[in-house]
Amino acid sequence: MGRFHRHDDGSEHSHEHLHDHGVDHVHESDGTVRELTPEEAAERAEHIGDHTGYETGNERIEVLERIFDENDRKADANRAAFDAAGVTCINVMSSPGAGKTTVLARTLTALKDTVRCGVIEGDIETSIDADRLAGTGATISLLNTGDGFGGECHLDAPMVAHALQRLDLSALDLVFVENVGNLVCPAEFDVGAHRRAMVASVTEGEDKPLKYPVMFRNVEAIVVNKTDLLPYLSFDMDQFLANIKAVNPDAAVFPMSATTGEGVDAWIEWVKQG
Amino acid sequence: MHELAISRSIASIAERSAHARLARGGTVTTVEVDIGHLRQVVPETLVWAWSFVTEGTALDSSRLAVNHIPAVLRCRACGAQTVLTDVFTLTCGTCGDGNVEVISGDEMVVVALIVEDNNG
């Protein structure tokens, strides 16, 4: 779910291709999907709200509310709470198995004596990741999205607000939000962090930035983890870096191995800059 | 799951916006949304999620009308416009420059509701 909407004509990256289906595709009684042409989209951007009612006898109520407004308001409140306590918050995202928890464990251990860290640990079920981080000296607030939050595949601002109740921000300098492993949904939800980072890994394939551009262009830092495995893989690092550059030219990129510690220092420096 | 969470947000905005009419016995027949291509939402999945998110609520049997907005870039270097389809490489399709501005495709908006008065 949440992947690209693939078009029936199978077109790939055909820049000149203009959508020519201005017709309503009626899928079922519950709804309709209409593909707008670029011309319609441009006009819409200029005259948003200037629509003609299409069902006579019924009243049309203009809403024009961004779907994420409610989440974003809560995210702003979270950010204000961090700011008031002088805490920097970093939202860490990745696909499942990229090594997010290992990267965090190494980061927390490196910061142990100089920076007071907290972690909001998001997982659908279990406390396995939280348990792994428990020995690092950081304060952990576990948030199981399967427990009263509908088993969500991402953390949103209200969930993080809930987890914040169990963190004493006045005793912390830095809070990591370890998001649920998923390259689509977490990118859309502002949780109130100041900085956003993601962990990719060399076992995932060079095409990931192109397949999940919303995530890759949504972060300021990208860890490319598991470089110790490079000798055993056909992973093309140059191609991967070029793909990152195509979707997010400004991202700071940190190839490293959280297992061996190789390349970790530059990432730790980025974390400390906050 | 993404579409499910978005459907819930749409329903919450729609119920709040229609609150007064619903209280007077009105029915929401249509909820219209704009979803940009860059949002990686599958419109058909959103419609499917809508059917069970609204089941048994004040929005039960309402129709979700999704306007899927194409992703269009304008190149700051050469001025050409590029329509992105499957691959989201954010570069100009004409000159290849990466200095582009997103003209459309980022939308995620509840545009309007159609409400029917049931009082005759």
List, for residues A143-175, the tens digit of each pLDDT value: 887 766 666 778 889 999 999 999 999 999 999
- The answer to whether ipTM exceeds 0.85 is yes
Q: Are B58 and B29 in contact (CB under 8 A)?
A: no
CA atoms of A162 and A120, how far apart (whole Å): 10
pLDDT over 50 (residue A202): yes
pLDDT greater at residue A117 or residue A32: A117
Q: A237 by DSSP, 3-state: which?
A: helix
CATH number at residue A184: 3.40.50.300
The arithmetic mean of pLDDT across residues A68-80, rounded, is: 94
Domain count of the fold of chain A: 1
Partner-chain residue, chosen from B65, B83, B90, that has the shortest CB–CB distance to A38: B83
According to DSSP, the β-strands at B81-84 and A24-28 are unpaired
Pick the closest to residue A192 from A172, A217, A163, A224 (CA basis).
Answer: A163
Kindly indicate the confidence band of residue A16, based on its pLDDT and cuts at 50, 70 and 90: very low
| Interval A117-124 mean pLDDT | 89
Can you read off the two tokens belonging to residue A138?
């950081």
Residue-range domain boundaries for chain B: 1-69+106-120, 71-104
The CATH number of B1-69+106-120 is which of 3.40.50.300, 3.30.2320.50, 3.30.720.120, 1.10.760.10? 3.30.2320.50
- Residues A82 and A195: their CA atoms lie apart, in Å, by 12
- The candidate with the shortest Cα–Cα distance to A217, out of B38, B119, B107, B84, is B38
Spell out the per-residue pLDDT of chain B, length 120, in tens. 578 889 999 999 999 999 988 888 899 999 999 999 988 888 999 999 999 899 999 999 899 999 999 999 999 989 999 998 766 677 788 888 777 888 999 899 999 999 998 754
pLDDT at A87: 97
Q: Chain B contacts of A66, Cβ < 8 Å?
A: 108-110
Q: pLDDT tens for residues A95-109?
A: 999 999 999 999 999
Q: Which residues of B touch A5 (CB under 8 A)?
A: 37, 41-43, 68
**pLDDT, mean of residues A131-145:** 86
* Chain A interface test: which of B73, B88, B99, B117 (most A C-beta within 10 Å): B88
CB-closest option in A63, A68, A245 to B113: A63
Q: What is the pLDDT of residue B13?
A: 95
Q: What is the DSSP letter of A192?
A: S
Determine, for residues B86 and A188 on separate chains, whether the beta-carbon distance falls below 8 Å: no
Question: Is A211 a residue whose pLDDT tops 60?
Answer: yes
Cβ–Cβ below 8 Å for A65 and B109: yes
Q: Could you write out the DSSP letters of every residue in A43-63? A: HHHHSTT-----STTSEEEEE
How high is the mean pLDDT of chain A? 83
Q: What is the pLDDT of residues B41-68, one digit of tens each?
A: 889 999 999 998 999 999 998 999 999 9
* Chain B positions in Cβ-Cβ contact with residue A159 (cut-off 8 Å): none
The Cα-based distances of A84 to A77, A175, A185, A273 in angstroms read: 10, 14, 28, 19
pLDDT at site A149:
64
Q: Is the pLDDT of residue A217 over 90?
A: no
CB atoms within 10 A of CB B89: 20
Give the domain range for residue A103: 69-273
CB atoms within 10 A of CB A239: 13
Helix (H) or strand (E) holding A157, with range, is helix A157-164
Cα–Cα distances in angstroms (integers) from residue A121 to residues A36, A144, A156, A187, A216, in the given order: 40, 8, 13, 16, 21
Neighbours of A81 (CB within 10 A): 17
The pLDDT value recorded for residue A43 is 76
- Token digits for A44? 């819409």
Count of C-beta atoms within a 10 Å radius of residue A127: 13
Quick check: A17 pLDDT over 60?
Answer: no
Closest by CA to A106, choosing from A95, A117, A120, is A117
Higher pLDDT, A222 or A133: A222
Query: Is the model's pLDDT at A210 over the cut of 50?
Result: yes
**A33, A48, A152: residue with CB nearest B44:** A33
